[in-house]
Amino acid sequence: MNDALARAESLIDLTPDYPEPGILFRDISPLLADPEALRVACAALVEPFEGRFDIVGGIEARGFLLAGYVAAIAGVGVLPIRKAGKLPKPAAAVSYDLEYGSAAIEAPGVLRPGERVLLLDDVLATGGTLAAAQQLIRDLGAEVAGSAVVLELVDLGGRAVAGDVHTLFTAHESA
């Protein structure tokens, strides 16, 4: 890892016992607020996929921020992937299981058949949201060009659910 990426990683804030005792929460907000760290992180997120995507899908909510930045730099559009009930006319929706219960995500009907979508999000934890976003893209007739996240919580096994994901940084659930 180069010095600029190491500096970006050092900006991830750690909050013990949030949102519940025993959880070490990792907040990428300080990384997003630092212009150089944001630039370096977004460049590293997209690097393996350069020239291989037509639009960037951002998963609500911090994925929107990453997708917007990457799309502007790459000269492509953004596909907002929203929590269910946030779009007036969703073109498709996918439900997925959470640790306790279920959730759903939706996308608007802006994709063209065969369009290549790069999916971005902040954290890969259990992989359910990212796997649902991948299915959503396929249900809309488009192709998943790749998936990338800033941080992977390795101990939660998200790759077993979401498949191959490009991650900038990795961490263990409690450390």
Across the chain, where does the E strand assignment appear? Answer: 13-16, 24-27, 55-59, 77-83, 90-98, 101-108, 116-124, 143-153, 166-171
Q: Respond yes or no: is residue 62 known to be catalytic.
A: yes
Q: Using the 8-state DSSP alphabet, how is residue 52 labeled?
A: S
Amino acid at 67: A
Task: Answer positive or negative: Cα dihedral of 143, 65, 20, 156.
Answer: positive
Q: Respond yes or no: is residue 99 known to be catalytic.
A: yes
- Choosing from 26, 62, 82, 116, the catalytic residue is 62
The structure tokens listed for 14 are: 């750690």
Q: Which residues are catalytic?
A: 62, 99
